[in-house]
Amino acid sequence: MLPLENSEDIHSSVKTYYGKVLTSSKDLKTSACTAAAAPHSIVRKAIESVPKAVNDKFYGCGNPIPLGIKGKDILDLGSGSGRDCYVASALVGPEGSVTGIDMTDEQLQIARDSIGEFEQTLGYTPKLKFVTGYIEELQKAGIEPSTIDVCISNCVINLSPNKKLVLEGVHQALRKGGELYFSDMYADARLPESVRKNDVLIGEGIGGALYVKDFEQMAKEIGFAHPRVLSISPIAIKDKELQALVANTRYYSITYRLFKTDEHKATKRTGFTARYLGTIEGHEDKYELDIDNVFDKDVSTLVSRSTAAILSSSWLSGFFAVEETPNSASGLAALPSTAKTLINHLRRLEQQSSNASGGCCSTGGAQGGCC
């Protein structure tokens, strides 16, 4: 993590890159915007309703917008042109609210100018607004404590010079049971100074990418429950000069879920089961909490204490029935995999593929699971 005294320089570099250097997502030098899996059909439909000017300036690396958020209050960190805010606004409906915060004037102008056009598409006036500010200083920007149900962010936290301040501010802004649901870039090793201080690498998100183990430890120290990995995809660096700078370090787009919940207390002889009610639109048959926890409708499943706490006391509680069970075996339900474990697994798969085919980096695609 970069020291606080460098914050002004980093903020200035990012503002310039996203406000003046990039004209569209085609100018990016990594595959971050295309590495993630396709969004749910409901989200894709909402994206189609977003004004073109907003979509053209979208620089995200994932799809951090959960379904089932009707009527919820949403905050988007580093909202940029507002694409994800517009999508979330369509999903929360007229009863919910969406606030985007960004520091780049050019991006904010696009986001604000397009609200009128979006209203015509929706057929009602959404509770949608964009505020100027830094994601390290949410309260200064007017985001009050305990007012947010779900905070989203798309490939932005890596751009912050002080990620701990960001996570602490989000934890404070969330209501009890709230969630930070976000996609970002991570590295499989700690980055050298030459990478962390390069303006282009900072702008692309590579320079500020955290080592996954450091990030997960930081999140738990702040008070979030055990971090959940929803998806993970390799990121390809397309520019030859940048490839030389990063050397053997590999980067990944990861969608994390961080919940503001406490772990359930249970004795050694008790555990928990959870049953999904099938009441989230778009997930009628099953619901994926994370890579390791996928719930079929009306099927009771053994879960860890941490998972039980999330499903019974977070904003998801209305969609699940959680019960304590006297069966001691259920108390052994394992916590979900960490991103580090999943990255190691991906690297083994890549190595096997390379050994079998003689290498695939010449194909140059993150979708191919190489490079």
Task: Give helix 339-357 / helix 212-222 axis angle, nearest 10°.
Answer: 170
- What CATH code is assigned to 4-259? 3.40.50.150
Strands annotated E in 114-173: 127-132, 148-154
Amino acid at residue number 361: C
User: Pairing between strand 251-259 and 174-187?
Assistant: antiparallel
Render pLDDT for 190-203 as a digit per residue (tens, 0 to 9): 878 777 777 777 76
DSSP class of residue 173? Answer: H
The domain limits of the chain are 4-259, 271-332, 339-368
- Confidence at 5, pLDDT banded by 50, 70, 90: very low
Mean pLDDT value of segment 291-316: 95
Q: Which has the closest alpha carbon to 234: 25, 357, 62, 40? A: 62
pLDDT of 268:
60
pLDDT of 243:
82
Residue 285 pLDDT greater than 60, yes or no: yes
How far, in Å, CA of 305 to CA of 325, rounded? Answer: 12
How far, in Å, CA of 270 to CA of 265, rounded? Answer: 10
Render pLDDT for 103-123 as a digit per residue (tens, 0 to 9): 999 999 999 999 999 999 999
Domain 271-332 classification at class level:
alpha beta
Render pLDDT for 84-108 as a digit per residue (tens, 0 to 9): 999 999 999 999 999 999 999 999 9
CA dihedral over 75, 76, 81, 87, signed as positive or negative: negative
Which of 45-69 are b and which e, b meaning 16 or more Cβ less than 10 Å from the residue's Cβ? ebbeebbeebbebbbbbbbbbbebb
Render pLDDT for 56-76 as a digit per residue (tens, 0 to 9): 888 776 788 999 999 999 999
Residue 307, both tokens: 């998972």
pLDDT of 195:
75
Render pLDDT for 157-166 as a digit per residue (tens, 0 to 9): 988 889 999 9
Lowest mean pLDDT among 32-41, 45-54, 244-253, 317-326: 32-41
Under 8 Å between Cβ of 135 and 148 = no
